[in-house]
Structure 1
Amino acid sequence: MAEWAGGPQVRIEPWADHALDLLRRLNAPEMTEHLGGPETEEQILARHQRYLAIAGSGTGRMFRVVLLPEREEVGSVGYWERVWRGETVYETGWGVLPQFQGRGIAAAAVAAAVRCAAAEGKHRYLHAFPSLDNPPSNAICRKAGFSFLSECDFEYPPGTSMRCNDWRLDLTAVI
């Protein structure tokens, strides 16, 4: 699908049925500590179905992050519609398996997903809402060119409020 020229060679590919195992690996406690903890198997299966369906719904895209040249699936990245402060925008999120973190893979995957969202021309803004206590995800936002707007209360998982940073990227400025 899309590759990033700088840093590690990463490709993002549309979410596929066989990616359920990847989703289970991304559900580890160390991967979900800023997101309310691991989900149940039932929640994972429901998330997998949402990921499979989102591209056909026209409301976003989910991708597997593939490290090249090995073609090893190492994470996920995506974007989806949400209403934020009265405006329909895209929200983005990502995760890279622990053994692959710290190598620029997430930043490369986010950059590729940003280009995909911008190419759609559907929404002007893409937001990311990393937890205040998640320095690596906040650093990825800075590196990817997002602008910091403010701290905010954000509901995730549903029914739980968490303190986040609101980062925004103007997709019309993406080349």
Structure 2
Amino acid sequence: MDWVGGVETDERVRARHERYLALVPDGTGAQFRITIPGHPEGVGIVGYWRHEWRGEPALESGWSVEAEYRGQGIAPDAVHLMLEAARAAGETLSVHAYPSVDNPASNAVCRKAGFTLLGEEDFEAAGRVLRTNDWVYELAEPPRA
């Protein structure tokens, strides 16, 4: 949580978990466990959910990979699979990601996953306003190679 405002209270963690659990039944998104060979319990999460972008409907995406598995290409691959799953679920909205401007790893994930950088903006996450980059991926366009 270093890049999205720091440590959360148990109450905030439980509330976020409840939101994640409701995404699929509500038809508002999905969360996925990132698994790799030898680690079926998972090494992170990736997902998308409904979001409003400049007054228009959109999707927001996010991911997290456990520290010992970072730098191995796991996150970009997981984001690609999440985008494919969203498209397969019939999603056509723009997908945004908002990594901190100071988070080179997540910005690299966006670039490697085929997102386009729109620019910087202030973004509220976990009750705090952060300076982020706004990256977008257009699901309505053909998949990028």
Equivalences for 1:57-76 in 2 at 5 Å? Answer: 57-76=26-45
Verify: 1:146 aligned to 2:115, yes or no.
yes
Aligned to 1:121: 90
Deviations 1:10-60 (A, max 9, x none): xxxxxxxxxxxxxxxxxxxxxx11111111112112221211111100000
Aligned to 2:100: 131
Equivalences for 1:17-166 in 2 at 5 Å? Answer: 32-158=1-127, 160-166=128-134
Q: CA deviation at 1:69?
A: 4.2
Aligned length: 143
Question: d(CA) in 2 for partners of 1:125 and 1:77?
Answer: 16
- Which sections of structure 2, spanning at least 5 residues, go unmatched? none
Q: Percent identity?
A: 47
Higher strand share: 2
> 2:123, 2:129 within 8 Å by CA — same for their partners in 1?
yes
Q: CA deviation at 1:72?
A: 3.6
Evaluate the alpha carbon distance shift between residue 113 and residue 174 of structure 1 in structure 2; reply closer, same or farther with a 3 A threshold.
Answer: farther
Question: d(CA) in 2 for partners of 1:81 and 1:124?
Answer: 9
Aligned to 1:10: none
Q: CA deviation at 1:122?
A: 3.1
Match of 2:3, SS state, is coil
> 1:118, 1:174 within 8 Å by CA — same for their partners in 2?
no
* CA-atom RMSD in angstroms: 1.2
Match of 1:45, SS state, is helix
Question: d(CA) in 2 for partners of 1:174 and 1:113?
Answer: 15
Once superposed, which parts of structure 1, at least 4 consecutive aligned residues long, lie more than 6 Å away? none
Greater mean deviation of Cα atoms: 128-137 or 37-46: 37-46
TM-score, normalised relative to structure 2: 0.93
TM-score, normalised relative to structure 1: 0.78
Q: CA deviation at 1:68?
A: 1.8
Equivalences for 1:2-13 in 2 at 5 Å? Answer: none
> 2:57, 2:93 within 8 Å by CA — same for their partners in 1?
no
Aligned to 2:140: 172
